[in-house]
Chain A
Amino acid sequence: AQSVTQLDSQVPVFEEAPVELRCNYSSSVSVYLFWYVQYPNQGLQLLLKYLSGSTLVKGINGFEAEFNKSQTSFHLRKPSVHISDTAEYFCAVRDGGATNKLIFGTGTLLAVQP
């Protein structure tokens, strides 16, 4: 069965510093991977997705992620964070069943400090 592990429950970082949020997956089928962001009291917004092709994926708000098949990872990065990036970030993998449902990790709270 597919699964996602987000290794850090919380990542504190100072404004304008770089950040990496880690995600490891397990999947027995072709891999589709996603990063979503959730601001307080809101739903999920898609940051970026990997379906195929280039392993470096660029998303919205200056985020990017790199698909590494050998390490089964899909880490999210941003070179310089802002206070407004403070939010919960979820990594997800597509389940291979008929519904293509998403399997989510437990989330990482990115806490940007001034």
Chain B
Amino acid sequence: DAGVTQSPTHLIKTRGQQVTLRCSPKSGHDTVSWYQQALGQGPQFIFQYYEEEERQRGNFPDRFSGHQFPNYSSELNVNALLLGDSALYLCASSWQGGPYGYTFGSGTRLTVV
């Protein structure tokens, strides 16, 4: 039973560029949440997708956007990258948004130079 799969594992981008990160949820899960973990910090909630809709957004600018596909996989897009966007981006999947069974992926390490 595959867990949460994220791709790519590492990424280096230049300031001002755009990036797309991908997440495939655990089998049986239909909800995907994205978190940003800056170095030395705890993960911060970006947004959650359920039934292909964004349900809630954390304190992140509109440069951060997402999408969920009919197969429940999800993408996180970040436009106009800033140095401060350098972080580990974690995807977590669950069933109908419940926190009881959150499963996290291994993350995508984004470095902006």
Q: In this complex, what residue of A is CB-closest to B109?
A: A41
Per-residue contact bits, chain A 95-112, to B (CB 8 Å; 1 contact, 0 not): 101111111111100000
Asked if A90 contacts B56 (CB within 8 A), the reply is no
Cα separation A97 to B113 with both chains bound (whole Å): 36
Asked if A102 contacts B106 (CB within 8 A), the reply is no
Asked if A106 contacts B42 (CB within 8 A), the reply is yes
Q: Which of A43-51, A57-65, A68-76, A77-85 contacts B (4 or more CB under 8 A)?
A: A43-51
- Chain B residue total in the interface (Cβ 8 A): 27
Asked if B105 contacts A98 (CB within 8 A), the reply is no
Cα separation A104 to B48 with both chains bound (whole Å): 16
Q: Which residues on the B side are within 8 Å of A104 (C-beta)?
A: 42-44
9 tightest Cβ-Cβ pairs between the two chains A and B: A104-B42, A44-B104, A43-B106, A99-B56, A100-B99, A43-B104, A99-B48, A101-B45, A94-B99
List 12 extra interface pairs beyond A43-B90, A43-B106, A101-B58, CB under 8 A.
A4-B42, A34-B102, A46-B102, A92-B42, A98-B97, A99-B48, A99-B56, A99-B97, A100-B98, A101-B45, A107-B40, A107-B42
